Amino acid sequence: MGNYCVNGASSEQVTFKWSIDNFRALLDKGNGWTNSTVFEIMDHRWLLKLNPMDRNSSGEECVSLSLQLSRPPVEHSTIVEATFRIFIYDYYTVNCEFSFECCFLGKTYGRHSFQRGSISSGKSCMIPLATLKNSYGFILNDSCVFGVEFIEVITTKAKVASEALLVQNTSSVNKGKTYTWQIQELFAVENPCNSPEFERGGYKWSICLKKYGNHISLDLQMINDLPKDSGILVKFTLSIKDNEGCNHMKATGRGQFSDDARGWGWQKFVLMENLKGSSNDHLITTQCCIEAEIAVIGSSKMNN
């Protein structure tokens, strides 16, 4: 195998060529990735990867190529935006370069945002193996030359938002306090319908009841305005009970409330038919109560 870089019109190298001798012996190795040497172009270190016996989505045998940063950027916020062309040399067309994407179809140039979680471009080039073998110019004297030409490489800093969430120890969390909302005519209430405001855990709340298709929807809504970029983590339970308190349906969840997320709950809390029927021992009259048990279990702060 041989590796060499080629300069463009300026003194800066923009093209890397990868010559593979005894190419059919590599084909005999079967499925698996082979890496080129690491090369430096446009202030970054790269490598090409080749799989001689890959398969495309149709099951056709292909030679796949991928461009990769040799190592992830040091900082999580660094993004390397690269526009490039992966190609194969055609010896019989005056060393003409032919670029391929998506099995010879589609765009000529590839583009990828290289970063810590994505240092590979994926399968940027897939050449059908039958085309490669049957061509007159792609393999000469059992030698094949692949390469990559860089059109543009731009390094940027991503705007990263981070959050610090502090969850209180179970021993230090006060037991949730319950609020009860009495409803006289459940199936005649306005849609949506909100409970009176109430205070629990040092914050003001309201329960929102909606009819969502053939379901009852229940949400817990925070009334307070919180400081900018802050939030509270709340464990809450919403219940629908009959007047005797014997039959009920309930759901428990955890939600992080903030100025941008004031409500959490269940869009399909219960089927209305499950509330109307008397045979299933649920709510046998239209009179009921809705309870909310609320415990503040943590706080958060966004850092932009």
Q: What are phi and psi of 276, to 5 degrees?
A: -85, -35
Name the domain count of the chain: 2
Name the β-bridge partners of 221.
206, 263
56 and 75 assigned to the same domain:
yes
Are 49 and 26 found together in one domain?
Answer: yes
Residue type present at position 117: G
Same domain, 60 and 114: yes
| pTM for the full predicted model | 0.51
Per DSSP (E only), the strands in 193-287 are: 193-194, 198-200, 203-212, 215-222, 230-242, 248-258, 263-271
Scan for tokens 């490669």, then name that residue.
Answer: 132
Q: 8 pLDDT exceeds 50? A: no
Task: Tell whether 180 and 222 lie within a shared domain.
Answer: yes
Neighbours of 95 (CB within 10 A): 10
> Is pLDDT larger for residue 3 or for residue 250?
250
**Do 122 and 182 belong to one domain?**
no
Per-residue pLDDT at 1 exceeds 70: no
Q: Which of 136, 157, 178 is the last residue of a domain?
A: 157
* Domain final residue pick, 117, 132, 157: 157
Distant-in-sequence, close-in-space partners of 174: CB < 8 Å, separation ≥ 6? 201, 295
Alpha-carbon distance of 283 to 262, in angstroms, equals 29
Residue 123 binned pLDDT confidence (cut-offs 50, 70, 90): confident
98 DSSP β-pair partners: 88
Instruction: Assess contact for 291 and 181: CB atoms under 8 A.
Output: yes
For residue range 39-51, list pLDDT tens digits in order: 999 999 999 999 9
Q: Identify whether residues 136 and 177 lie together within a single domain.
A: no
Give the domain extent around 283. 163-303
Per-residue pLDDT tens digits for 92-122: 665 555 544 333 323 347 889 999 889 999 8
**Is there a contact between 83 and 110 (Cβ–Cβ < 8 Å)?**
yes
User: Residue 12: pLDDT band by 50, 70, 90 thresholds?
Assistant: low
pLDDT digits (tens, 9 = 90+) for 198-242: 999 899 999 999 988 888 899 999 999 999 889 999 999 999 887
Measured distance CA(128)–CA(111) in Å, rounded? 22
CB 210 within 8 A of CB 195: no
**Claim to verify: residue 143 and residue 22 sit in the same structural domain:** yes
On whether both 32 and 130 belong to a single domain, the answer is yes
Are 182 and 293 within one domain?
yes
Q: Are residues 46 and 96 in the same domain?
A: yes
Q: How many CB atoms lie within 10 A of CB 248?
A: 16
Q: Which of 115, 139, 157 is the last residue of a domain?
A: 157
- Report the percentage of the chain scoring pLDDT > 90: 36
Give the tokens for residue 205: 């709340």
Indicate if 279 and 178 belong to the same structural domain: yes
Looking at residue 141, which CATH number applies to its domain?
2.60.210.10
Residues 143, 14 share a domain: yes
